[in-house]
Chains A and B, each alone.
Chain A
């Protein structure tokens, strides 16, 4: 019986300032043995802990196709994330995981995949995006709709450039009206608006929507209107989590534990749950 509460020791190997208050940490295992036995799949999350302060839940933002490290992207919001943000290169933090279910990527072979997200909803999907791009030939069209409040708030700015320049990804990057800078060359408009103006085709397609509740609320009907069925729309839910293994009770929505029965759900499944998320 493994003890689910003892964290792996991780060294902070790289820090990127993505946006105001948002950082990406690349973490490497202190113990070789841990690195060898650790593996995860796209969609799973982990509990990242600062010893003495507590733990915070974020998705694993790097792709499982890239071994030897784990990345997380987070915004400084509360006690633990602020303490995390105060850490420096080579500091040791704790990681527990991987927890949760996964995106059924194998079921998407040969299909078109559409990503719709905003702000810091991109990190959980970035894991999936790289997972697909690292095996590009297995999938049809890949389309990404991503927006943030202002140009500065966009995360993974370098990777957005990379995806734009690849040629095998259709990328719509937008900022909210008023959030553009004079030299901004991308789109301007809320993500749902951009989505409505450039709807993805639903035939042989799946969609993944993640991000602030308002995006999910507005994005889902647009997809529905364009022929997407609820079982082909995926999302990753967030809720207050502590243990990550379905015991502490904080993340429940009805009978569902977001940590162990999710966080990946189809929209069809989400509609069966009480609206407590």
Chain B
């Protein structure tokens, strides 16, 4: 790890140099609706700075909402299959929160550890993550409950923490170093400093160890029904979530010419587990909501050793019924 400081007034210059270096820069942008979303930008003045959290995560950089797996075309005797994985640009994601950066660690383990996914791998390789620590949080944030914190470096290539007139810069990887090098003169090497006074203060709502233990016997808890009654079965939580990875595979076009795509899917949808025969293994919304929470807090721990929830709070904010994941978890593990 290399540590630097940068003058706050020069943050815009650093940003401009990243743009000049030819990389695609994805940053939070304030939209007309009042919500903030990650978008490709061309200058620092497009970047939103005064907000708690973006509406959707940055996972679409490495796991887009629609990804073309291949295109095909029938010719005389056979079918030609074309796969366009080569045209992915060097990309910098600016302004993630530490919870989001940690989510990238989970995504990497999930997609690459077993049966590695070529599409994810190609995109992740071209992506640099420049994260900004959180000075503020709201009632939906709960990163400290899932063993993260507003100044965590997990998953980041570079972590920036605002400290008054200076920005404290922690460079965690070679990719991060390469990003710094685009404007090396702006950065002054520094001693390690404490970030505590500049970070949001978040009291944990539960102990992760306790939850991991109690959730082992939570499957048959009668409270699931009550906690899931408000759930409509839409995909808002799964789509906004930085660690949800379920997808559908769809063919579009005709049998003569078209493409095969993968697109985001959600276990909350009624049809997610429906067989062609009509048999549905999770036939009601209680079972589907239970699946989502059990997966985040138990199954991903059993399969990958990681709790896949990062406490970003997006699911609570976007849910039309404002279902609260940590309230639900506490209730079913009582």
Q: Which residues of A contact B (CB under 8 A)?
A: 1-7, 9, 30, 49-56, 77-78, 81, 83, 92, 94, 213, 238-240, 242-243, 245-250, 252-255, 260, 274, 276-277
Contacts and interface: CB of A to CB of B under 8 A. Distances in A.
A51 B72 contact: yes
Contacts of A213: 279
Give the top 7 A-B pairs by smallest Cβ distance, nearest first: A249-B246, A78-B276, A52-B255, A255-B299, A245-B115, A77-B276, A5-B69
B85 to A, nearest CB: 8
Contact of B281 (A5, A6, A53, A253): A253
Nearest to B273: A240
Contacts of B4: none
Interface of B, helix, strand, loop or mixed by DSSP: mixed
A276 B281 contact: yes
A208 B116 CA distance: 32
A238 B81 CA distance: 29
Given A3-B83, A253-B281, A274-B219, A9 B78 contact: yes
B207 interface: no
Contacts of B279: 213
A238 B274 CA distance: 12
Contacts of A77: 276-277
B79 A92 contact: yes
A249 B303 CA distance: 13
A276 B79 contact: no
A6 B276 CA distance: 23
* Most central of B116, B245, B249 by chain A CB within 10 Å: B249
Interface string B92-122: 0000000000000000001100111111010
B248 A51 contact: no
26 contacts: A3-B85, A4-B115, A5-B69, A5-B118, A6-B81, A6-B83, A7-B81, A9-B79, A49-B251, A51-B255, A52-B72, A52-B257, A54-B251, A78-B276, A92-B78, A213-B279, A240-B272, A247-B111, A248-B247, A249-B245, A249-B246, A250-B246, A252-B299, A255-B303, A260-B114, A274-B219
B256 interface: yes
Contacts of B69: 5-6
Contacts of A255: 298-299, 302-303
A162 to B, nearest CB: 30
Given A3-B118, A6-B70, A250 B272 contact: yes
B226 interface: no
Determine chain A's interface SS by DSSP, over half rule. Answer: loop
B230 to A, nearest CB: 22
B79 A4 contact: no
Interface string B306-326: 000000000000000000000
A248 B265 contact: yes
A1 B118 contact: yes
A6 B299 CA distance: 29
Interface in B251-276: 251, 253-258, 260, 262, 265, 267, 272-276
Contacts of B117: 4, 247
Nearest to B249: A242
A4 B258 CA distance: 19
B298 A51 contact: no
A29 to B, nearest CB: 12
B255 A276 contact: no
Nearest to B238: A249
Given A9-B79, A253-B281, 4 more contacts: A5-B262, A247-B115, A250-B272, A276-B273
B287 interface: yes
Given A246-B114, A248-B265, A5 B260 contact: yes
A92 B260 CA distance: 16
A83 B265 CA distance: 24
B65 interface: no
Q: Which of B114, B115, B257, B262 has the most CB of A within 10 A?
A: B115
A274 B111 CA distance: 25
Contacts of B21: none
B74 interface: yes
Nearest to A92: B79
A242 B253 contact: no
B200 to A, nearest CB: 32
